[in-house]
Chains A and B, each alone.
Chain A
Amino acid sequence: MLKEINLTVRSGEFAAIVGPSGSGKSTLLYVLSSLDREYEGEVIFGDVELKTLSNRKLARLRNRSIGFIFQFHYLLADFTALDNVMLPGLKLGELPHEELEEKAMQKLDLLGIADQATKRVNKLSGGQQQRVSIARALINEPQIIFCDEPTGNLDSKNALIVYDMLKNLTREFDQTILMVTHDDSYLSEIDRQIQLLDGRILDR
């Protein structure tokens, strides 16, 4: 599906893969983000080739260095917002429980939903859920956050809020973000657009 892809994302970049549906945007994102490993060629994350990693090391890499934000919020429905944010941190196990909880609260606060922390996520609105998943992606301070149509399932008002927050993260915290989107109404402030058509990157 993907052909002759040669792409480097640098630290601190806010990049977006854009293109019509069926162009292979999501596939490219999944390959780059370690989810899809059935590719030909090389995907080098930091200095490791993803195919060489065992499942265990791969899990470690995702836990420590990668944050995910999906179109459908992918939260554990029976857990509170705070629980969901803490999950990757608990797995990493680097912070004591109290500090981790405090840090998770900070992330929720950063996204403006600290007051929803103890609610179950299935009681939250779509926009709030997406912000919880952004907070979750941030908790372990990953090297990169992959977003798959993060605003695709939101109304324009909420989409704008989420989009502003992502932009904010790159500007103020130097967070590297690679995003897939087909919504070009917010693309003006993105550092770099990667145009994809029929599995190939269009040169600009």
Chain B
Amino acid sequence: MNRYPILKIVITHLISRKRQTIVSMLGVTFGITVFIFQAGVITGLQDFFIEKTINSTAHIQIYQDKNQKSPPVLLSIYDEEQTWVSVPNIKSKNELPKLKRGLQIVEILESYPEVTGVSPSLSTQAIFKIGVADVSGIINGVNIRKENRLFNLENDMVSGSIIRLESVNNGIILGSGLAESMGAILNDNITVVSPGGVALQMKVVGILETGLRELDNSRAYSSIRNTQKLMNVTGNYITNINIKLEDVDQSGVLAREFQSRFGYTAEDWKDANEGIFSVFRVQNIVTYLVIISILLVSGFGIFNILSMMIYEKMNDIAILKSIGYTDVDVRNVFLLEALIIGFLGGLLGLVIGFVISWITSIIPTNIEGFVSSEYLSINFDPLFYLLAFLFGLVATGIAGYLPAKKASKIDPINIIRSQ
């Protein structure tokens, strides 16, 4: 007999009823495994997406919002309180989305210490043609060196090189999806037609794959000069300024500052990707609901098994009480049994969860969703493991406490008398 009779009783109970112990342990194990795996996959995917997004979109983007409609001039004459002004069908003025003094703004931005890179660009819709195939997309006119500093395009090149955009006169870099859908390969000559009707012969000098499907399917890069030709505008015409920051978390604050300083819309990357983040939020809610319901089910399992155990161990309870064990001692026996089931089941769940996550992370999946990636990127954040483990313990603790409390209230006389 060891020094702690309660523990000895607990262990003897658990061992003498191996099957129930294992079944209820596996309930917890299953819950924790799903928790680890699901949280790992979902947040891994989200983190992967966020990282890709941060790498391939600007932290802050400055542009002129073309849809800003000016209020009707009548309003400045009549007081709105007393006169009902109705001007239907307001249209925006025919104004080019040009950033005036754009290149000066770039210089000012470059002097901010928080800013690590600034890339001016202009972009337009365009039709890309090769032979009879034509595909619509967006062509970005950029200074490729500056753009590369922001987005590390060099790493995403699947063929060709970014430098050839400077050395080849009418060079163009295509997104991989775009190139594929028009059937273009490196060094092909293609025709690019702008909405204004300007057509330009261009040579494919590179193909680029960022992993973000939407971008890869529509985006092409060319020099600022060539894009200006396509849009039929002058040499200082730019429509966008992309900014990369030292610290991404400052993007919101600085975006507001730039907006008020330069008078153009400055949008940080979270606003630009708002849709995705709300999808993530819904995803997280669903994930947690699934996890909680699984833990609830394993909690009920433990509750049932312990309740049955108490009926079977009535004699033991009566004996313990008649030889001087207190209500609390009896409660602790059953509570401890639940916690040991939770502890061991949880530990096993962590291990299995980790192994399944790890196996999943090394099997090539070649996902082609809105993010394409060769492997599932899985989050192995230790915080999940800690959280899952604590959840498991709390759930089993609660599930065990109720029957344990009931056991502690059993009066030995009722059992002894009934014999």
Judging by beta carbons under 8 Å apart, are A62 and B323 in contact?
Answer: yes
Q: Which residue of B lies closest to A100 (CB)?
A: B1
Docked Cα-Cα span, A55 to B328, in Å, equals 10
Contact B319 A74 (CB under 8 A): yes
Which A45-69 residues have a C-beta within 8 angstroms of B? 55-56, 59-64, 66, 68
Q: Which residues of B contact A170 (CB under 8 A)?
A: none
Assembled-state Cα–Cα distance A38/B193 (Å) = 99
Asked whether B8 is an interface residue with its Cβ less than 8 Å from the other chain, the reply is yes
Name the one of B1, B13, B327, B328 contacting A90, with C-beta atoms under 8 angstroms: B1
Interface positions of B from 307 to 337, Cβ below 8 Å from A:
315-316, 318-329
Q: Are A82 and B1 touching (Cβ within 8 A)?
A: yes
Chain A at the B interface: SS class: helix
Chain A, interface residues (CB within 8 Å), range: 35 or more
Q: Tell me if B325 and A91 are in contact (CB < 8 A).
A: yes
Report if A127 contacts B (CB, 8 A): no
> Known interface pairs A78-B16, A87-B5, A91-B329. Does A30 touch B416 (Cβ–Cβ under 8 Å)?
yes
Tell me how far the C-beta of A73 lies from the nearest C-beta in chain B, rounded to whole angstroms: 10
The residues of A that contact B3 with a CB separation of less than 8 Å are 90, 97
* In contact, B419 and A72 (Cβ under 8 angstroms): yes
A91→B323 CA distance, assembly (Å): 9
B8 touching A83, Cβ below 8 Å? yes
How far, in angstroms, from A132 to B181 measured CA to CA in the complex? 87
Minimum C-beta distance from A108 to chain B (A) = 13
Nearest-Cβ distance from residue B138 to partner chain A, whole angstroms: 75
A92 to B417, CA, bound (A): 26
Report the separation of the CA atoms of residues A68 and B419 in the bound assembly, to the nearest whole angstrom: 15
Q: Is B390 an interface residue (CB 8 A)?
A: no
Among B319, B412, B419, the one with the most A-chain Cβ atoms within 10 Å of its Cβ is B319
Return A201 CB to nearest CB of chain B, in Å: 21
Complexed CA–CA distance, A137 and B8 (Å): 20
In this assembly, does A136 line the interface, its C-beta being within 8 Å of a C-beta of chain B?
yes
Q: Which of A36, A80, A88 contacts B323 (CB 8 A)?
A: A88
Are A68 and B322 in touch, CB under 8 angstroms?
A: yes
Q: Does B187 contact A (CB under 8 A)?
A: no
In the complex the two chains form, what is the Cα distance from A76 to B8 in whole Å? 12
CA distance A101 to B315 in the complex (A): 24
- List 10 interface pairs A-B (beta carbons < 8 Å), by A numbering: A30-B417, A35-B322, A59-B324, A62-B323, A76-B12, A82-B1, A87-B320, A90-B3, A91-B325, A92-B324
Tell me the B residues contacting A by CB distance below 8 Å: 1, 3, 5, 8-9, 12-13, 16, 315-316, 318-329, 412-413, 416-417, 419
